[in-house]
């Protein structure tokens, strides 16, 4: 049975929630969040984790003097053990940095159900489609190929499924004739960068209520 969501404590500018941001690639969403947090908020980024040693987004952690850890998948054959070991290493960093909320901002790995169970209600994901439509790693391609006229982004709590947890907010963009994966991605990233720091404000200020 799925565990219920346990949301983070209600935070304030004086006692901000300690956030870890997980990335795998360019990190434009991380950059947007760090810019947003230049003004004091009820959340503050204390740790950045990348599974990818070459992630461009690592730069934003270093430039902002935030603890930034590269944790690649351990080099072992058994895929299950590999995932569990990897998440064990990540969990140690989360505990060491007293993290209270995890933000998946372009993190391209699926978390195991046991990791999600430990943090359920305290992991949010940004996905570049209007979920439940087009989950997975090819959201833009799938949206364009399906012929829909509208796509967008979703901010949601993570559960043990793939891109399935409780939706916190969505924003739409139009798909225009001649749209490419690149142009759609650029448009959607722009709205993601506006919406998700604001949703973090609401979550940290206790404005969402859990459903199981």
Q: Is 206 in the site for ligand GAR (CB under 6 A)?
A: no
> Measured between alpha carbons, how far is residue 61 from residues 45, 66, 102, 144 in Å?
9, 5, 15, 33
Map tokens 């364009």 to a residue. 144
CA atoms lying within 13 Å on the CB side of residue 70: 11
CA neighbor of 170 nearest in space, from 157, 155, 158, 184: 155
Binding track over 83-122 against ligand GAR, x by CB under 6 A: ----------------------xx----------------
Q: Is 128 in the site for ligand GAR (CB under 6 A)?
A: yes
Q: Is 127 in the site for ligand GAR (CB under 6 A)?
A: yes
Binding part of the chain for ligand GAR, among 60-68, 91-99, 124-132, 198-206 by CB under 6 A, reads 124-132
Token code pair at residue 194: 């506006």
Map tokens 């570049």 to a residue. 128
Q: Is 25 in the site for ligand GAR (CB under 6 A)?
A: yes
Binding part of the chain for ligand GAR, among 23-31, 35-43, 81-89, 166-174 by CB under 6 A, reads 23-31
Which of 85, 191 has the CB closer to ligand GAR?
191
CA 125 to CA 12: how far, in whole Å? 22
CA 61 to CA 27: how far, in whole Å? 10
Choosing from 87, 100, 159, 192, the residue that interacts with ligand GAR (CB under 6 A) is 192
Q: Is 27 in the site for ligand GAR (CB under 6 A)?
A: yes
Q: Is 43 in the site for ligand GAR (CB under 6 A)?
A: no
Token code pair at residue 41: 């908020």
Annotation marks residue 127 as catalytic: yes
Which active-site residues does the annotation give? 127
């Amino acid at each position: 049975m799925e565990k219920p969501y346990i949301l983070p404590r209600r935070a304030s500018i004086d006692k901000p929630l300690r956030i870890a941001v997980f990335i795998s690639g360019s990190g434009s969403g991380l950059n947007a969040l760090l810019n947003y947090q230049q003004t004091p908020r009820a959340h503050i980024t204390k740790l950045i984790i990348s599974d990818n040693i070459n992630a461009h987004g690592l730069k934003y952690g270093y430039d902002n003097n935030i603890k930034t850890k590269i944790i690649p998948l351990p080099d072992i054959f058994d895929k299950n053990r590999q995932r569990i070991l990897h998440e064990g290493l990540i969990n140690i960093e989360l505990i060491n940095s007293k993290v209270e909320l995890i933000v998946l901002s372009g993190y391209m790995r699926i978390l195991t159900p046991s990791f999600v169970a430990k943090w359920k209600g305290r992991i949010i994901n940004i996905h570049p489609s209007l979920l439940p439509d087009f989950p997975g790693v090819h959201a833009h391609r799938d949206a364009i190929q399906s012929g829909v006229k509208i796509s967008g982004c979703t901010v949601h709590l993570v559960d043990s499924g793939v891109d399935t947890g409780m939706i916190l907010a969505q924003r739409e963009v139009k798909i225009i004739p001649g749209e490419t994966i690149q142009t759609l991605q650029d448009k959607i990233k722009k709205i993601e960068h506006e919406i998700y720091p604001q949703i973090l404000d609401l979550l940290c200020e206790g404005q969402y209520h859990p459903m199981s």
